[in-house]
Amino acid sequence: MNNQPTNPKLTATQIREAKPLRACIAIPPVFDFYFTRHRFSGLGSEILSSLLRKNGCEVQLFNFPLQKKKGGQLRLPKTLEYLKPHIIGNENGGLSFFTRYQRFGPPLAECTDQIIAFAPDIVFISCFAFCYADAALELASHIRDINPDLAITIGGAGVSAYPDFFIQNPNIDFALTGEAEVSMPFFLNALKSNSKDFSGVPNLYRKNNSKIIASLIKRQTDANEIAFVLKKTNSTSKAVYYSTSLSRGCPKRCRFCSNFLCHGRDFRVIPIKKIQKGLSELFIEDKDCDKPVYVNFEDDNLLLAPEYFLNVLKIFKEKFPKVFFLAENGVDYTKLTPELVKTLIDLGMTQFNLSIASTHLPILKEEQRDATFPLYEKILQVLNKHGIQSITYFICGFKKDKKKTVAANIAYLAKLPTRIGISLFYPVPGIPDFTDTVLFDKQPPFICAGSSAYPWNRSLTTAELVTAFRLSRFVNLLKSDTKSEDEEILIQKITQKKKLYTRVKNGDTRSIVPVPNADNDMVRLFFDYFS
């Protein structure tokens, strides 16, 4: 395949006639066990949409995962059949593992029909995580079958992790890595030019006679180039919800983090004046004017610039008198102080999502992760005193994890005033220990989802990973302020037997059953540490 799009619509004659380029952005449906709808803002696609419009394009953005309120059940992929011993039919309630593999969004054929109906000159497919690469590439295949001449470009964090995986696919013409702000103007200029010379486009992968060509120009945004997007994600009768991201990059070198693959190591933030300008131009519907507003910051580490973050919160409070803040991607507790926590609460932070990675110091050293547990516990004390909820996340499945380290993590958090968030370890191509991309060529990308509970480091089995997941949910049920009678019985049985049980629904009846294939040694270790 040569490096020139073959669509006859993309000609110099058309450009001279000032006919705008019709660009379609497609976020493919999500294939997974679960989907957090309110977290799915698609900020990167919103930035791309804005850039395309500024460059004279007609744009249609399809956020397919949000088109359906409920997922459609699918047959479990053959590669995930190792999970069958841990999936309990008709299981429900607070201790459940995943029960159904689903497609969130319309069928791919229906997505393709919507795209083709727009009659685009070029399609941009978003792959926001490598584990969802299959859906992105299958969507490209459907589009190519209907319109073989349509130029197809793919981008997003998933592409930045392993661009060769995408560009070698016959249905992909271009793969853009990194940030759209630095590549898109150059890419569009090359696309519209007579020469179709793409050599000056930063971060671009393309093909020439089936030979993959990677751009020699690698660039990341300067702070002034970062686009400010405040995306309205939901509106109810009681509140309005927005998501935004104000920073790029992180200098910390946690070995399990893939942020640097897309955004680099240099931390930079959007200038305050750009945020003020964006807020001043924000359109607010009349029906939303008097509602409380919740703003979620999707940044990985805004506390690297604490004064900046506080100023941003104050600016938002000037715009929205009744505003509350969340940072659901997590807050680095090592950058907090009790005084800073109090200030954040006063400004409207309603929940703190914290991350400790592990309580085991040798693991933290191996993963290059800072830890100050006395500080962490002080932070929780302050939050508890002010009635502010917290969720503390740890990662299960590190290379040096064992049953006892995982059980100790859960027991430690069980004794503290915080809910538990467990993240089952998964790699992204390019992070330390996973730079050999051959590993990711041998099995489907969806194995790289945390929900797949795949034993990547061979330190824990799938049974142990799933048991840790269930134990974490058990602790959260213990801490719940509102428990049903059935839940009280379930808790009592688990505590007495020191084995995992769960609830199963059959018609109108509910019964408590033992969890099959749970790792009972890990459960006993948890109760030993917790007692």
The DSSP H or E segment spanning 524 is helix 520-530
Residue 9 reports pLDDT greater than 50: no
Q: Are 363 and 401 in contact (CB under 8 A)?
A: yes
Q: What is the mean pLDDT of residues 317-345?
A: 95
Would you list the domain boundaries of the chain? 12-68+105-214, 223-479
User: Residue 5 pLDDT more than 60?
Assistant: no
What pLDDT shows up at residue 8?
A: 38
pLDDT class of 11 with cuts at 50, 70, 90: very low
List pLDDT tens digits, range 235-252. Answer: 999 999 999 999 999 999
DSSP assigned state of 333: G
Query: What is the tens place of the pLDDT at every residue in 23-68?
Result: 999 999 999 999 998 888 999 999 999 999 999 999 999 999 999 9
**For 131-141, how does the pLDDT look when each residue is reduced to its tens digit (9 = 90+)?**
999 999 999 99
Do 12-68+105-214 and 223-479 share a fold? no
What is the helix (H) or strand (E) element at residue 478, kind and residue range?
Answer: helix 462-479
At 388-405, the pLDDT tens digits run: 999 999 999 999 999 999
Dihedral of CA atoms 421, 336, 431, 66 in degrees, nearest 10, equals 50
Could you tell me which of 346, 392, 405 has the C-alpha nearest to residue 529?
405
- Can you give the pLDDT at residue 10? 45
Q: Name the 3-class secondary structure at 338.
A: helix
**Model confidence at 467: pLDDT above 80:** yes
The predicted model gives 311-332 an average pLDDT of 95
- Look up residue 474 and give its two tokens: 């058990």
Q: In the predicted model, is pLDDT for residue 4 greater than 70?
A: no
pLDDT digits (tens, 9 = 90+) for 168-196: 999 999 999 999 999 999 999 999 998 89
- Give the CA distances from residue 169 to residues 109, 146, 154, in Å, rounded to whole numbers and listed in that order: 19, 17, 11
231 bridge partner residues: 243
What kind of fold does domain 223-479 have according to CATH?
A: TIM Barrel (3.20.20)
Whole-angstrom distance, CA of residue 5 vs CA of residue 24: 15
In the 8-state DSSP scheme, what is residue 113?
H
Q: State the average pLDDT over residues 145-172.
A: 97
In the predicted structure, residue 429 carries a pLDDT above the cut 90: yes
* Rounded alpha-carbon distances, angstroms, from residue 465 to 219, 442, 456, 472: 39, 22, 11, 11
Q: How confident is the model at residue 3 (pLDDT cuts 50, 70, 90)?
A: very low
pLDDT of the residue at 507: 80
Q: To the nearest whole number, what is the mean pLDDT of the chain?
A: 94
pLDDT of residue 509: 85
Query: 502 near 516, Cβ under 8 Å?
Result: no
The pLDDT value recorded for residue 18 is 59
**pLDDT the model gives residue 185:** 96
| Type of residue at 122 | I
Domain 12-68+105-214: which CATH class? alpha beta
For residues 57 and 470, is the Cβ–Cβ distance under 8 A?
Answer: no
What pLDDT is attached to residue 209? 85
Amino acid, single-letter form, for residue 526: F
What end-to-end distance do the CA atoms of the chain give, in Å? 65
- SS3 sequence of 258-289: CHHHHHCCCCEECCHHHHHHHHHCCCCCHHHC
Question: How many Å is the Cα radius of gyration of the chain?
Answer: 24
Cβ-contact 112, 146 below 8 angstroms: yes
- Average pLDDT in the 447-455 region? 97
